Amino acid sequence: MSRAAIAARLAPVLLDPEAAAGLDVHGRIDAAVLVPLYEAHDGRLHVVLTKRRDDLRRHAGEISFPGGRQDVDETDLRTTALREAREEIGLPEAAVELVGALQPTPTIATNYAVYPFVGLIEPGHAWTPSDAEVETVLEFALTDVRDGYARRRLTRRGVPFRTDTYVVGDHLIWGATARILVDLFERLDRVDVV
């Protein structure tokens, strides 16, 4: 399927990027992430994620989408998502076709409102992970991510809780990233593109 055909199938089930950027989540710090998708040579849709460095102060060692806090001079969260993807994994803004957005997702421990924007990219990028933030760039087939879904009991800072998770190989995806993926999969199920 061509990138244009994928975009045409995804757009109706995603939020409009401009409208999503304007949604207000009260009492939180605004941040944005890019949800980069591409069709691999095997015909399956893949997603690009990062594994954060283990020595970071926040979200150390977690798997996340490229993204971060909105800069003071940025008036559009789409700009934030694209800038962060360039800074974290070396993905040029011009290489991304924004096709929609997902529901803003709050983080519990760090008080962020994360605005996810879905972008289509071409396969085969040579990633340049940020030495300061990213341990490695991960590319997973969406079917493999979905197959690893389960509600699991985790313990963080001594507090046990049940949450949505995805496991791919030895990689655990949880927290806001897992909640964003739940939203993505619910929307993709409507158009059968996974």
Distance of CA 13 to the CA centre of its chain: 17
CA–CA–CA angle 79, 15, 162 (5° rounding): 95
Average pLDDT, stretch 176-191?
94
Q: Is the pLDDT of residue 131 over 80?
A: yes
**Structure confidence at residue 161 (pLDDT):** 79
- For 12, 36, 86, 102, 151, the CA distances from 99, given in Å and listed in that order, are 9, 10, 18, 11, 29
What DSSP string describes 101-142?
A: E---EE-SSS-EEEEEEEEE--S-------TTTEEEEEEEEH
- pTM of the predicted model, to two decimals? 0.92
> 134-172 pLDDT, tens per residue?
989 999 999 999 999 998 887 777 777 788 999 999 999
Domains of the chain: 3-142 (3.90.79.10)
